[in-house]
Amino acid sequence: MVDIYGYVLRDISELHISRSCSGMGTGGMVTTELRFSAYGAKHGGNAMKAPKVMVSVTNAKGGSLTLPDFWLDTHTVHNNRIDFVCYDRMAFADCIKFTEDDLKSFAVNKVSAYDVVNMIGQKMGVPASGFADATKKIDIESLPGTTCSQWLQSISAVNCGFFYISNENELKFCTFHHPVYEVMLDTELDAYTEPDIGEKVEVDGFIIYGDGGKVYDHSNMGSRYVLEINGGSLVNSKTPDKLEKIIENATYTYGSIDKAIITSIPHVNAVWGSGQLLINNISATISSCGIIASLSANQAGVGEIGAYMGQLSRQLESAIKSGERINKNCMITKYQGTIWLDDDEDEE
């Protein structure tokens, strides 16, 4: 059953739920998407903006499926049938900003990332779980005007993991190589296609970039796989030692399972089977037949020139934020795009 304020729905078809990490999950946020279609229409005048979507799924044995809360983003009509696209609470992280009033919640001028994440949870209306924090203290004066997503992205990068909303509606953090829950198979059917397992990657080095051109290189010529982390303002001299502990004995295996019959919606980094594969891409269809899912872990690594391209990306990102020149005659700005300067124009 699906209930959305402002709509009368009937004949709801399959529910499609997807979750995925970017890359191998070494920094970022995960948003869960829900898609479905139904016959119906709006009612009761103007509906509220982004109405809450109430989803209730019961299996053949009478058990209920645990899902996070969703909110309606878009709907389109085709031949009197409405297609809905909905997202969980993480989708609001881009539009919720810190204000001057938030500073009153802190009794000191500098706080930990743990404190900032707890504040983000309050602002997003969900409880937050703690995590191993490798960031330096954060000046609270840097918070007003910034969004929850900016801090979640930065904090997750420096801690080599990602934030997600759990099925129980909690803001949680997971390090990229740590499992969260098991993928629950339908034990009566035990049906899944043969997993395609790729190579096992052993992370034995990292390079972290901070503000002001600071670089901390904890890798060597013999390193088999090196993580590159853009830590920005959250990096100081103590961060690399903390990161060493976070990625100690880190391994990552990529692969996929084309189809599996499961009994619950997995979180990203759910462990498959014996633990050989941590899933960071989930696409599941819920129907009267049960839950059929495609599960995979992204391939780790970059191309042969990936490190150089990473330097270009970071340089351009920095230039866009600060309006710096990237060479003698070219400047990239956030709102004006690329600006070509005359040779005799003064640099600022």
CATH number of the structural domain spanning residue 116: 3.55.50
Residues 263 and 313 in one domain: no
Q: Which pLDDT score, from 0 to 100, does residue 64 have?
A: 78
Residue 325's domain comprises 306-340
Cα 269 → chain centroid: 12
Beta bridge partners of 202: 251
Determine the Cα–Cα distance for residues 312 and 174; give it in Å rounded to an integer: 28
Residues 252 and 329 in one domain: no
Q: Are 143 and 155 in contact (CB under 8 A)?
A: no
14: tokens are 């399959």
DSSP secondary structure of 174-242: EETTS--SB--B-TTT--BPPPEEEEEEE--EEEEEEGGG-EEEE--TT-S-EEEEEEETT--TTHHHH
Q: Which pLDDT score, from 0 to 100, does residue 58 have?
A: 75
Spell out the per-residue pLDDT of the chain, length 348, in tens: 666 665 667 777 778 999 999 889 998 999 999 998 887 666 655 556 678 877 777 766 666 788 899 998 888 887 778 888 999 999 999 999 999 999 998 889 999 999 999 999 999 999 997 676 888 899 999 999 999 999 999 999 999 999 999 999 999 999 999 988 878 777 667 788 888 998 898 998 899 998 888 999 998 877 778 898 988 899 999 999 999 999 988 999 999 999 998 888 988 999 987 777 899 999 999 887 788 999 999 988 655 555 555 666 666 665 555 455 545 556 555 545 555 655 554 443
Q: Which pLDDT score, from 0 to 100, does residue 345 have?
A: 43
Q: Are 38 and 2 in contact (CB under 8 A)?
A: yes
Q: Is residue 98 domain-resident?
A: yes
Q: Kindly report the length of the chain.
A: 348
Structural domain ending residue among the three candidates 111, 142, 175? 175
Q: Is residue 187 domain-resident?
A: no
Residues 54 and 41 in one domain: yes
Q: Is residue 65 domain-resident?
A: yes
Residues 10 and 56 in one domain: yes
Q: Which amino acid does the sequence have at 119?
A: M
Structural domain ending residue among the three candidates 113, 142, 175? 175
Residue of 161, 159, 129, 127 whose CA lies nearest to 30: 161
Determine the Cα–Cα distance for residues 8 and 38; give it in Å rounded to an integer: 10
195: tokens are 């997993």
Q: Which contacts qualify for 94-99: CB closer than 8 Å, 24 or more apart?
A: 94/147, 94/148, 94/149, 95/147, 96/120, 96/123, 96/124, 96/147, 96/148, 97/144, 97/145, 97/146, 97/147, 97/148, 98/123, 98/143, 98/144, 98/145, 98/146, 98/147, 98/148, 99/144
How many helices (H) and strands (E) are present in the chain, helices listed first? 4, 23
Residues 51 and 11 in one domain: yes
Residues 162 and 244 in one domain: no
Residues 78 and 40 in one domain: yes
Q: Which pLDDT score, from 0 to 100, does residue 311 have?
A: 60
Q: Is residue 159 domain-resident?
A: yes
Q: Is residue 10 domain-resident?
A: yes
Kindly list the distances between the CA atom of residue 302 and the CA atoms of 11, 229, 305, 309, 332, in Å, as whole numbers in the listed order. 45, 13, 8, 10, 26
Residues 210 and 279 in one domain: yes
Residues 275 and 203 in one domain: yes
Residues 200 and 290 in one domain: yes
How many domains, in total, are found in the chain? Answer: 4
Q: In this structure, how many other beta carbons lie within 10 angstroms of the beta carbon of residue 37?
A: 20
The three-class DSSP label of residue 147 is strand
Q: Is residue 347 domain-resident?
A: no
Q: What's the sign of the alpha-carbon dihedral 173, 175, 176, 182?
A: negative
Residues 169 and 206 in one domain: no
Q: Are 36 and 57 in contact (CB under 8 A)?
A: no
Q: Which pLDDT score, from 0 to 100, does residue 346 have?
A: 43
Q: Is residue 185 domain-resident?
A: no
Determine the Cα–Cα distance for residues 331 and 205; give it in Å rounded to an integer: 34
Cα 170 → chain centroid: 14
Determine the Cα–Cα distance for residues 26 and 157; give it in Å rounded to an integer: 6
The three-class DSSP label of residue 259 is strand
Q: Is residue 184 domain-resident?
A: no
Beta bridge partners of 293: 260, 284
Residues 55 and 77 in one domain: yes
